[in-house]
Structure 1
Amino acid sequence: MVESEDRPSLRRRLLSSLLVPLMLLLVIESLITYSGALIYSNHVHDRDLADDAMTLAQMLSQEDLGGQISPQARFLLEYAPEGHNYFNVSSKKHGLLAGSQDLQSAALSAATLDGEPALFTTALKRRQLRAATVRIPNLRDPSDQLTVTMAETFHDRHQRAREILLLSIPAQALLIAGVFFLVLYGVRVGLRQLDPLTARLAAREHDLAPIGDADVPVEILPLTRTIDGLFARQRRMLALQERFIADAAHQLKTPLAGLRVHVERAQVDPSKDTVSDALQHIQRLTQRASRTSSQLLALTRAQSPELSEDGSECLLDLAQLVPELLGMRVHEAIAAGVDLGYEGEPGPIWIDGDRLSLQEMLDNLIDNSLRYAGRNSLVTVGVSVVSGCPCLSVEDNGPGVPPAFLDRLGERFFRVPGMTEEGTGLGLAIVQRIAERHHAQVRYLAGSSGGLRVEIMFPTARTSKSLLSD
């Protein structure tokens, strides 16, 4: 149970990825609500402030001021239930009649001559105020003008906005909670669409057939197609294993049967000559079995799907690599009585490839020439550029291959009829598979001196252009 809780859960991941945005949405919605409530509160308070200033100005314009306002008007200003703690009443003739002198200059600059209240924001003793001022003529004295200014702090406005916000938050939270539970239900129902696919895969045992797209939701198609690719690679690997087992059983059957015959012959006739002859045959058969198994393993490696799966593909210079590999085989050529030489263009000649695979390819080509060209023959390994493509060639002046059989060279276990030299028929098949992995083409031609010429045409290296530009 603990293990299942610790496992990554798609449902939990989906819900958590939705919950955080929903909470952020609640915060953003609260800020928007508060901003809207504050705008509304400012609008209402501005309207009330302007109405109060206009009402007081009209009332004062009908009084005989005589340099001061009446006690009733002062009472309304100082003890207004709306909390208008800041005011200013001034006359054009008599100057300041009541209130704060600091508001007079701001009020005179903001007031208009049309008798309509003007709203403005000002500061008094480091406190922000919202004020409304109105200028109207004195009805008792037409030559005089009254300016009435009423101001208030922003505290009540923010208080009203907070009250509206607190009233709206529960409704918003309830709405988001409802959305969250609807999403939870939708996720559960949506994930049930995977049940048929899960049941179909659970019913399989050793079936590596593609899953297909029949009942697969669009969102997980990339996953199922990736699994199909994995199944395809597994099928290829299993096919290689089955082919290797079948080839090994077929190719090792003859030498193993020969070993048993010669062992039984030595047991029946333990004479020195018989035992010596049997041991010689046994040694030759074990060498053949060893070479066959090595060639089968090499062929299996060459048939692996991709060249660069292990990251061994790199930029190689054929003009430098081939002479190095060729030098390792000189002593064998001397022992076989073969003149092994090299002809090449000045490098570099770049290809994308795997050094070990190319070494195995060249070794098989040289082995083929040393085995079938015969003593006192000439084998030439060449590197050149043909039609802009790197070319590796191996040519001998041996008996060659009849033209009718050139197209079959490279087939597994194919040996040219009439050849007396022992072989597995796998050397050129390995060459063919390694060339295919390098996206190269192999051509089997008649040599200029009557022997066999094998040419491998490589594609131009993908990274050589960037290397040269650097």
Structure 2
Amino acid sequence: MNRSAPRRPSLRRRLLVFLLIPMIALLMFDAVLSYGVALTYANRVHDRDLSDDAVTLAKLLDNDRLGSQLTPQARFLLEYDPDGRSYFNVRRGSGGLLAGNGQLPQPAHAPALGAAPTLYDTRLDQHTLRAATVHVAARHAAGDSLIVTVAETLHDRREQAREILLLAVLMQTFLIVCLLALVWFGVTRGLRVLDPLTAQLAGRSLELTPIDGADVPQEIQPLTRTIDALFGRLRSMLDLHDRFIADAAHQLRTPLTGLSLHVERALADPRPETVADALGHIQRLTHRAARTSSQLLALMRAQTAPGDPGESRLLDLARLIPEAVTQRVHEAIRAGVDLGYAGSAQPLHVLGDAAGVQDMLDNLIDNAMRYAGRGSNITVQLQAREDGGATLSVEDDGPGVPSELMSRLSERFFRVAGGNEAGSGLGLAIVQSIARRHHAEVVYQAGSGQRGLRVEIRFPPATRGRAST
């Protein structure tokens, strides 16, 4: 059954969604705000008209010619309302209703004589009304006054606010649609700056040069710098592979050539003593080739192992190192070497990789056993430092190394002149690579009494991790 491929994320779609959702929310908020502003504006206009109507009606009623009576035309105009009715009420200040079309409730505080109209909300016949009351002197009745109240429903106010809101929303929606179209066009055009970079990468074969240049936009520089860092790691890895191939070819050429010569010698002279001598040489050369290959692979692993601190653990060297030394005692006895350990039994923790630390110690012991020779003494020592770190040292009492050559001991394939030719010259280079991965320092110095060689691995203090079990 064929299943459709999962939909890939789109940067263009994500940008547009991130813009569209806030715009819709902003439009809704603006609609509520616009309706509130429109309703406030409509209320203000209608309140002003309502106050003017109350004052006008009061003046009209106070006209001597009208005799405090409304004409039918004035009553019709006051009562006309498309949504219901307009209401009015005229009372004497001394009491009594002169005219009106409803019992309008009066405000909580009666307006003062001659003061501006009082506006208030009220209800009549289940209608919510807005009313205006004015208190004026009656010229036709000495000592008396008129209280005129005019009220209207809220239909016109709300209708006007809705019309304003509709116009505002339509206009703003149009503007947002135009803005989104511009954003779409801008995002599409803006993403085209990636086209030259894409074409540049597509046109490369095995070229791993940096791609971050002056023409790369600053917004995508983190991406290009990450790619350049990846290219740098790949270049380093490829360089290591090329170096490994070259080193393997260089180091294995001599033993393989020797193997070929001794095989030809045995074939050319089949006498038993010649064949036995040739087989002895072949065995030694085979062991040398095998050791060189093993050392090359160990160096490659040490150089290419990930250096992620998250993979490290808190190691107790006071427990790890004695166990590793114990495993080499029988080999040292066969080689005629006195191998010993000196160190405190108190826990001594460093942050690192147990297998890497053991490989480092094995190479240091191998190096000391090969170059110190039979009858020598090798001491592995573990000490705590005042800064919280630890120092692991391997010291022998062999012929030692001239001081001017100490700095070259970590070079690959470097061997001190006159030393044991069976060595590959890779042991201390492996030690250096593993120590670097553990942020440790390798120090070479003369042994006690200026005899032999002392190699110290100075581990930094352990600040995190968990205890190794």
Q: TM-score, normalised by structure 1?
A: 0.88
Equivalence map 1:133-172=2 (5 Å): 133-172=133-172
Name the residue aligned to 1:457: 458
Secondary structure in structure 1 of the residue aligned to 2:461: coil
What CA deviation, in whole Å up to 9, does each residue of 1:437-467 have, x standing for no partner? 2222211111115221111122222338x99
1:282 and 2:282 correspond:
yes
Equivalence map 1:325-404=2 (5 Å): 325-388=324-387, 389-404=389-404
What is the CA–CA distance in structure 2 between the aligned matches of 1:387 and 1:24, rounded to whole Å? 62
CA shift in 2, pair 1:80/1:441, >3 Å: closer
Question: What is the Cα deviation at residue 231 of structure 1?
Answer: 0.7
Secondary structure in structure 2 of the residue aligned to 1:307: coil
| Paired residue type of 2:374 | R
Q: Does the CA contact (< 8 Å) of 2:370 and 2:420 recur in 1?
A: no
What is the CA–CA distance in structure 1 between the aligned matches of 2:371 and 2:88, rounded to whole Å? 119
CA shift in 2, pair 1:402/1:83, >3 Å: same
Name the residue aligned to 1:13: 14
| Paired residue type of 1:324 | E
Name the residue aligned to 2:105: 103
* Structure 1 portions without partners, runs of 5+: none
Name the residue aligned to 1:417: 417
Question: What is the Cα deviation at residue 290 of structure 1?
Answer: 1.5
| Paired residue type of 2:320 | L
| Paired residue type of 2:56 | T
RMSD (CA atoms): 3.0
What is the CA–CA distance in structure 2 between the aligned matches of 1:232 and 1:326, rounded to whole Å? 39
Question: What is the Cα deviation at residue 383 of structure 1?
Answer: 1.4
| Paired residue type of 1:278 | A
| Paired residue type of 1:363 | D
Q: Does the CA contact (< 8 Å) of 1:372 and 1:421 recur in 2?
A: no
| Bigger mean CA offset, 390-399 vs 360-369 | 390-399
The size of the alignment, in residue pairs, is 461
CA shift in 2, pair 1:214/1:78, >3 Å: closer
1:320 and 2:319 correspond:
yes
What is the CA–CA distance in structure 2 between the aligned matches of 1:82 and 1:138, rounded to whole Å? 33
What is the CA–CA distance in structure 1 between the aligned matches of 2:156 and 2:410, rounded to whole Å? 95
Q: Does the CA contact (< 8 Å) of 2:371 and 2:420 recur in 1?
A: no
Name the residue aligned to 2:25: 24
CA shift in 2, pair 1:150/1:331, >3 Å: farther
Name the residue aligned to 2:59: 58
What is the CA–CA distance in structure 1 between the aligned matches of 2:44 and 2:175, rounded to whole Å? 28
| Paired residue type of 2:404 | A
| Bigger mean CA offset, 36-45 vs 331-340 | 331-340
1:253 and 2:253 correspond:
yes
CA shift in 2, pair 1:320/1:88, >3 Å: farther
| Bigger mean CA offset, 338-347 vs 365-374 | 338-347
Secondary structure in structure 2 of the residue aligned to 1:109: coil
Q: Does the CA contact (< 8 Å) of 1:338 and 1:379 recur in 2?
A: yes
Secondary structure in structure 2 of the residue aligned to 1:303: helix
1:47 and 2:48 correspond:
yes
1:187 and 2:187 correspond:
yes
Name the residue aligned to 2:36: 35
What CA deviation, in whole Å up to 9, does each residue of 1:141-176 have, x standing for no partner? 233332222223323211111112223333322222
Secondary structure in structure 2 of the residue aligned to 1:391: strand
Question: What is the Cα deviation at residue 17 of structure 1?
Answer: 2.6
What is the CA–CA distance in structure 1 between the aligned matches of 2:81 and 2:401, rounded to whole Å? 120
CA shift in 2, pair 1:31/1:81, >3 Å: closer
CA shift in 2, pair 1:333/1:125, >3 Å: farther
Name the residue aligned to 2:214: 214
CA shift in 2, pair 1:240/1:229, >3 Å: same
CA shift in 2, pair 1:133/1:451, >3 Å: same
Question: What is the Cα deviation at residue 435 of structure 1?
Answer: 1.6
Q: Does the CA contact (< 8 Å) of 1:87 and 1:103 recur in 2?
A: no
Q: Does the CA contact (< 8 Å) of 1:112 and 1:118 recur in 2?
A: no
CA shift in 2, pair 1:402/1:80, >3 Å: closer
Sequence identity of aligned pairs in percent? 57
CA shift in 2, pair 1:186/1:153, >3 Å: same
1:291 and 2:291 correspond:
yes
Question: What is the Cα deviation at residue 411 of structure 1?
Answer: 1.2
Secondary structure in structure 2 of the residue aligned to 1:347: coil
Q: Does the CA contact (< 8 Å) of 1:296 and 1:426 recur in 2?
A: yes
CA shift in 2, pair 1:112/1:323, >3 Å: farther
Question: What is the Cα deviation at residue 308 of structure 1?
Answer: 1.6
| Paired residue type of 1:31 | V
What is the CA–CA distance in structure 1 between the aligned matches of 2:362 and 2:114, rounded to whole Å? 108
